[in-house]
Chain A
Amino acid sequence: MPRYFTEDHEWVDVDGTAATVGITDYAQVQLGDVVFVELPAAGKALSKGEPCAVVESVKAASDVYAPVSGTVTAGNDALEADPALVNSAAEGAAAGGGWFFKLTLSDSGELDGLMDAASYAAFVGGL
C-alpha cells in the first residue's frame, strides 16, 4: 500500500480510494508531548489543503491540513483517551497507531502532487 507525504508533514496511506491520514514522526518530534487531538467528524467533506484537524502539544496548537480531498469515514477514537499515541506511534496506520482519520478519496489524481518516503526524507533533511 503506497504512502504519500506532504510538505506540511502529513502522511496518507492509500488503498484504492480508501485513505488513512496522520502526521509524520518528524512533526511529532517538533510538536513535543501531544495532549489533545481534535478530529473531523465522519461524513465531513474535505478539500485538499483545508485545515481539518487540530493537534495540541504542551507548547502549542497546530492545524493539520487535508493532504487530499475526500469524505471522512472514521476518526481515530483512541486519540481521545491517549493523545500521546501521536508521539509513540505517529506513523502507525493500524489499531494502536497514532493515525488521525480515514477518508474516501474524491480525486486520486491529487496524489501525484505528493512526495514518496524518499522524497519526504530528503525534504525533511533540508529543513
Chain B
Amino acid sequence: MGRFSGPDAVPASCPRMLQMTDNSHPEDGPEIETLALPLDAWHRAKGARMVAFAGYHMPIHYDGIMAEHLWVRENAGLFDVSHMGQLQLIGEGAASALEAIVPGDISALKPGRMRYSLLLGEDGGILDDLMITNTGHHLYIVVNGAVKHDDIAYLYDALPETVTINYDEDAALLALQGPKAAGALARLVPDVAALVFMQAGPFMWGGVPLGISRSGYTGEDGFEISVGAEHVVALADALCAMDEVKPIGLGARDSLRLEAGLPLYGHDLDARIDPVEGDLSFAISKRRREEGGFAGAARILGHLSDGAPTKRVGFTVDGRQPVREGAEIYHEQQHVGTVTSGGFAPSLGAPIAMGYVASGFAALGTKLEADVRGKRIGLTVTAMPFIPHNYVRKNNQ
C-alpha cells in the first residue's frame, strides 16, 4: 500500500532539462502546509533527499534508488511509512459493520490475523486499499496516507455509532523488509520469529510497546512496526545499527512493489475501478461472494461471474526504455488500455509496467504496444509478480 506519488524528486530549482516528463504526480486538492513526520530530522541526518508526498516531507532516497532496491532484495531495508493512517475500530460488531463497505470476511478474522481488503464506494469503486488486523480487542486498520482523511470521513458515515473510530496520529509506522529482516528484528524482539505472513501481535522492546505484523509492500519477507512517535528515533537507530539494515526511500519502495506486482492506490487503483477490474478478486471472500451485502455488490459479483470489461495486467517491455504511467496502449491502431505504473525494474535489469487493458487483450502472452512520446514500444502481457514473492507462510521453528 502506501501511495507513492512517483518521484517528485526533481527540485523546483532545477531548470527545464530536469523538469519535463519527470513522472511526478502532484497531489490533488488545495495546497496545504507540508508536515514533518517524527523521523524527519533522522532522515535528513542520514543524507536523504526529501520530497513532499501525501502532505508530508518524506525521503525519496539516500544512496540512490537502484542501490537501495537491490539492498532490500538481498538484506534488510527500513522504510518510514508514518504518513499512512493508523486507525482503530472499537466496539461490538465493528467487524460485521465494516463488512458493509469491504468485501472481505472480517467477521471470520481471528485474533492476531490480518487481511488485505478494499474500501468500496457505493458503486463498488475502490476508495482505498487497506490492511485490517484483528487485535483481539479491536480492528487495527492501516490506510494510505494520501486518502486517509477521506477514508476516516467515509468510515464515520458508514459505521454505526456503536463503533468508535480512533485515528492514532501520534503513532509512527516503520517497515523492515528483506530476507534478513527477520533475523535483524529478532535481535531486538526475539518473539517476532513466531509470526508468519499476515499475522500480527503486541510486542515489547525493552519497555516500549510495539505493534508488529509480518507483512509489507516489497514482495519480500518483512515486518511492519507501529511505535509511538516518541520512541521511533531510538527504534530506527537500533535497527540501522545492524550491518544488514539500511534506510530505504520511497523511490525503491515504488520499484520494489512494482516488481512484486502490487498495485499503488491513486495510480493502479482508484474510485472508478472495482476489485475484479483491479485483479484483486482474491480479496472478495467466499462467504461474501455467496451472500453479497457489501457496497457495489451487484456490479462486483456481476463482474466475477461474467467477467469485467477491463483488467489490470502486468507487462514486460521490449528494449530498455521505460514505459511510464500514462502511456497509452494499442493493439495495432486500436486503443486498448493505459499504463498505470511503469519503470525500470532493478532486480530484472529491464523495464516493466502494469496497467489496464480491455479484457479481450488481457490474456497472458498478448502482444501490444505502448506509445511513448510518439514512439511505439512493444509490450507483452505477463503474469505478476515479476519477481517471486518471498513470504514466510510457515513457521520453521
Which A residues have a C-beta under 8 Å from some C-beta of B?
A: 7-10, 23, 27, 30-33, 35-36, 38, 51, 54, 56, 58-65, 80, 83, 127
Q: Using Cβ atoms and an 8 Å threshold, which residues of chain A touch B60?
A: 59
Whether B16 and A56, one on each chain, are in contact in the complex, defined by CB atoms closer than 8 angstroms, is no
Whether B11 and A30, one on each chain, are in contact in the complex, defined by CB atoms closer than 8 angstroms, is yes
Whether A35 and B320, one on each chain, are in contact in the complex, defined by CB atoms closer than 8 angstroms, is yes
* 22 A-B residue pairs with CB within 8 Å: A8-B17, A9-B15, A9-B17, A27-B17, A30-B11, A30-B18, A31-B18, A33-B346, A35-B344, A35-B351, A36-B320, A36-B321, A36-B322, A36-B344, A56-B344, A58-B66, A58-B344, A59-B60, A59-B65, A60-B9, A60-B10, A62-B22
Q: Using Cβ atoms and an 8 Å threshold, which residues of chain B touch A59?
A: 6-7, 9, 22-23, 60, 65, 251, 343
What 3 A-B pairs are tightest by C-beta distance, nearest first?
Answer: A59-B7, A8-B17, A33-B66
Q: Using Cβ atoms and an 8 Å threshold, which residues of chain B touch A54?
A: 373
Which B residues have a C-beta under 8 Å from some C-beta of A?
A: 6-7, 9-11, 13-24, 60-61, 64-67, 69, 251, 255, 320-322, 324, 343-344, 346, 351, 373
Looking across the interface, which residue of chain B has its beta carbon closest to that of A7? Answer: B15
Q: Using Cβ atoms and an 8 Å threshold, which residues of chain B touch A32?
A: 9, 61, 64-66, 251
Whether B65 and A65, one on each chain, are in contact in the complex, defined by CB atoms closer than 8 angstroms, is no
Whether B65 and A33, one on each chain, are in contact in the complex, defined by CB atoms closer than 8 angstroms, is yes
**Of residues B9, B24, B61, which shows the largest number of chain A Cβ atoms within 10 Å of its Cβ?**
B9
Whether B322 and A35, one on each chain, are in contact in the complex, defined by CB atoms closer than 8 angstroms, is yes
Whether B64 and A33, one on each chain, are in contact in the complex, defined by CB atoms closer than 8 angstroms, is yes
Q: Using Cβ atoms and an 8 Å threshold, which residues of chain A touch B9?
A: 32, 59-60
Q: Using Cβ atoms and an 8 Å threshold, which residues of chain B touch A7?
A: 15
**Of residues A7, A10, A27, A58, which shows the largest number of chain B Cβ atoms within 10 Å of its Cβ?**
A58
Measured between C-beta atoms, what is the minimum distance from B44 to chain A in Å? 17
Looking across the interface, which residue of chain B has its beta carbon closest to that of A10? Answer: B17
The number of inter-chain residue pairs (CB within 8 angstroms) is: 93
Interchain CB contact (< 8 A) of A56 among B11, B14, B17, B321:
B321
Measured between C-beta atoms, what is the minimum distance from B79 to chain A in Å? 16
Looking across the interface, which residue of chain A has its beta carbon closest to that of B250? Answer: A59
Measured between C-beta atoms, what is the minimum distance from A105 to chain B in Å? 20
Q: CA separation between A46 and B64, bound complex, in Å? A: 33
Given A9-B15, A30-B14, A36-B320: A62 touches B21 (CB 8 Å cut-off): yes
Whether B21 and A61, one on each chain, are in contact in the complex, defined by CB atoms closer than 8 angstroms, is yes
Q: Using Cβ atoms and an 8 Å threshold, which residues of chain A touch B346?
A: 33, 58
Question: For chain B, what secondary structure do more than half of its interface residues adopt (helix, strand, loop), or is it mixed?
Answer: loop
Q: Using Cβ atoms and an 8 Å threshold, which residues of chain B touch A58?
A: 65-66, 69, 251, 255, 343-344, 346
Q: Using Cβ atoms and an 8 Å threshold, which residues of chain B touch A63?
A: 16-17, 20-21
Given A32-B65, A58-B343, A59-B251: A23 touches B23 (CB 8 Å cut-off): no
Q: CA separation between A31 and B70, bound complex, in Å? A: 18
Q: CA separation between A10 and B17, bound complex, in Å? A: 8
**Of residues A30, A32, A60, A127, which shows the largest number of chain B Cβ atoms within 10 Å of its Cβ?**
A60
Q: Using Cβ atoms and an 8 Å threshold, which residues of chain B touch A10?
A: 17
Q: CA separation between A35 and B10, bound complex, in Å? A: 17
Given contacts A32-B65, A60-B22, 19 further A-B contacts (CB under 8 A): A8-B15, A9-B14, A27-B18, A30-B11, A30-B14, A31-B18, A32-B64, A32-B66, A33-B346, A35-B322, A58-B346, A59-B9, A59-B60, A60-B18, A61-B20, A62-B18, A63-B20, A63-B21, A65-B16
Q: CA separation between A35 and B66, bound complex, in Å? A: 10
Q: Using Cβ atoms and an 8 Å threshold, which residues of chain A touch B343?
A: 58-59
Measured between C-beta atoms, what is the minimum distance from B318 to chain A in Å? 12
Interchain CB contact (< 8 A) of B17 among A23, A33, A83, A127:
A23
Whether A83 and B14, one on each chain, are in contact in the complex, defined by CB atoms closer than 8 angstroms, is no
Interchain CB contact (< 8 A) of B20 among A62, A80, A127:
A62
Q: Using Cβ atoms and an 8 Å threshold, which residues of chain B touch A36?
A: 320-322, 344, 351
Q: Using Cβ atoms and an 8 Å threshold, which residues of chain B touch A127?
A: 11, 13-14
Looking across the interface, which residue of chain A has its beta carbon closest to that of B9? Answer: A59
Whether B17 and A62, one on each chain, are in contact in the complex, defined by CB atoms closer than 8 angstroms, is yes
Q: Using Cβ atoms and an 8 Å threshold, which residues of chain B touch A64?
A: 17
Q: CA separation between A64 and B13, bound complex, in Å? A: 17
Whether B65 and A60, one on each chain, are in contact in the complex, defined by CB atoms closer than 8 angstroms, is no
Looking across the interface, which residue of chain A has its beta carbon closest to that of B21? Answer: A61
**Of residues A9, A38, A61, A127, which shows the largest number of chain B Cβ atoms within 10 Å of its Cβ?**
A61
